[in-house]
Amino acid sequence: MSTRTAKSRSPAAPPETAADAIPGTDAGRLTMADLAARAQVSIITVSRALRDSPSVREDTRRRIQDLAREMGYRFNATARNLRLQRSHTIAVVVDMKPTPERPMSGPFPLDLLGGICQELTTAGYNVLLTTGQSQPAAAVHAADGAILLGQGADDTAVRQLLPIGVPLVVWGAPQPGVDPVFVGSDNHQGGALAAARLVETGRRRLVFLGDTRHRENAERLHGFTETLASAGAVLAALVPCDFTFNAGVAAVQGLLADASGGFDGIFACSDAIALGAMRALTEAKLTVPDDVSVIGYDDTPMAAFHTPALTSVHQNWTEGGVRLAQSVLALINGEHPDSVILPTRLVVRAT
């Protein structure tokens, strides 16, 4: 037979006994060569049979497939990837701030990850997860493509990843320099929706809470002020703050201390900020929404379950994940997908 027939794993014991392949026994993984020897065919025939190649006769194919199942054969993806020069793997780089306190509590990467996994695994790709902490390079190098999930105000991560030369898709707001493909939700629209709602309910002096160094927040502010202006309302204050509850508290406390004309509506860049703001308002004996109306962002469970229930801008993360995945796949296929901007919607509740 083949020259490799003799090279069986257990030289002493008879390798033909099916007992060799007790599932769970890791002793010497089976290879196609083992199957080939057993089935009295060549290795390549086994390879073809297992891939359902039409050039293998029906019964031969079935015989080999059955044999593989019986013997507990496990396919070696590494070998195939080497041979085929592709890893069938997409690196997902989660570039979260190393802030210890509530670094990234939102559903952010979770639902996004869900969407990504769903799409990628059904397409036969693996998802390699890395945090930006260490050098993501190592993992990304080996991948067929990469997805960057960051909330960074800066774009250092993008700059690190781009030169690697792997197809890259980034979650967030498209940048002026159009280099990588972006997928994100429509922050401009989100801001506009919030503004429209606040104006509709009769508010005229509005506050924006969020760090506009984040491109996404800058977009929200843009949509927000644009809509305000066209409705004759004014932006009473813009307070840069983190995405946290405490930042929201502090921001509103500062606002109340500084008696610069007052305000009757707040748009916060996260539900946590919004809840913090409401806490500060309540402590100052102001009621929501009678005295001040509040709108949050992200539509997290805590918005829904809070009393009073928080009105919030909802972004469809799962869909976002799916689109991210589709875009990398497209890039890998040599296509040139456009950046995607997903619509947001306002979930109106009590505030």
Distance between CA 338 and CA 325 in Å, rounded? 13
For 50, residues 6+ apart whose C-beta sits below 8 A from its C-beta are 32, 64, 65, 68, 75
Q: Tell which one of 1, 18, 44, 77 touches a copy of itself (CB under 8 A).
A: 77
Secondary structure class of 186 (helix, strand, coil) = coil
Residues 266-325 binding a copy of itself (CB under 8 A) are: 272, 275-276, 279, 282, 300-302, 304-307
Q: Tell which one of 20, 37, 38, 48 touches DNA (CB under 7 A).
A: 48
Q: Count Cβ neighbours within 10 Å for each residue of 139-170 and write b for 16 or more, e otherwise.
A: bbeebbbbbbbbbbeebebbebbbeeebbbbb
Cis peptide upstream of residue 308 (ω within 30 degrees of 0):
yes
User: DSSP label at 192?
Assistant: H
Is residue 18 within the footprint of a copy of itself (CB under 8 A)?
Answer: no
Is residue 133 within the footprint of a copy of itself (CB under 8 A)?
Answer: yes
CB closer to DNA out of 58 and 101:
58
Is residue 187 within the footprint of DNA (CB under 7 A)?
Answer: no
Give Cα separations from 32 to 15, 124, 222, 283, 347 (angstroms).
14, 21, 60, 71, 56
Q: Tell which one of 41, 113, 147, 194 touches a copy of itself (CB under 8 A).
A: 113
Is residue 65 within the footprint of DNA (CB under 7 A)?
Answer: no
For 326, residues 6+ apart whose C-beta sits below 8 A from its C-beta are 119, 337
Sign of CA dihedral 189, 195, 198, 201: negative
Task: Report the chain's C-alpha Rg in angstroms.
Answer: 28
Nearest distance, CB of residue 55 and DNA, angstroms: 4
Is residue 251 within the footprint of DNA (CB under 7 A)?
Answer: no
At residue 233, φ and ψ (nearest 5 deg) are -95, 170
Is residue 21 within the footprint of DNA (CB under 7 A)?
Answer: no
Distance between CA 157 and CA 2 in Å, rounded? 51
Q: Tell which one of 50, 71, 153, 162 touches a copy of itself (CB under 8 A).
A: 162
Q: Which of DNA, a copy of itself, none lies near 2, with the C-beta cut-off 5 to 8 A by kind?
A: DNA
Is residue 25 within the footprint of a copy of itself (CB under 8 A)?
Answer: yes
User: DSSP label at 168?
Assistant: E
Give Cα separations from 40 to 271, 276, 309 (angstroms).
66, 72, 70
Mark residues 83-122: x for contact with DNA by CB under 7 A, - for none. Answer: xxx-------------------------------------
Is residue 2 within the footprint of DNA (CB under 7 A)?
Answer: yes
Structure tokens belonging to residue 148: 């960057």
Q: Tell which one of 3, 6, 17, 23 touches a copy of itself (CB under 8 A).
A: 23
Q: Tell which one of 31, 45, 130, 312 touches a copy of itself (CB under 8 A).
A: 130
Structure tokens belonging to residue 154: 């800066």
CB closer to a copy of itself out of 33 and 302:
302
CB closer to a copy of itself out of 114 and 240:
114
Structure tokens belonging to residue 244: 């946290």
User: DSSP label at 123?
Assistant: T
Q: Which of a copy of itself, DNA, none lies near 262, with the C-beta cut-off 5 to 8 A by kind?
A: none
Residues of this chain that interact with a copy of itself (CB under 8 A) are 23-26, 74-79, 81-82, 87, 89, 92, 94, 96, 102-105, 107, 109-110, 113-114, 117-118, 121-122, 126-131, 133-134, 138-139, 141-142, 162-165, 245, 272, 275-276, 279, 282, 300-302, 304-307
Residues of this chain that interact with DNA (CB under 7 A) are 1-3, 7, 29, 31-33, 40-45, 47-48, 50-51, 54-58, 60, 75-76, 79-80, 82-85
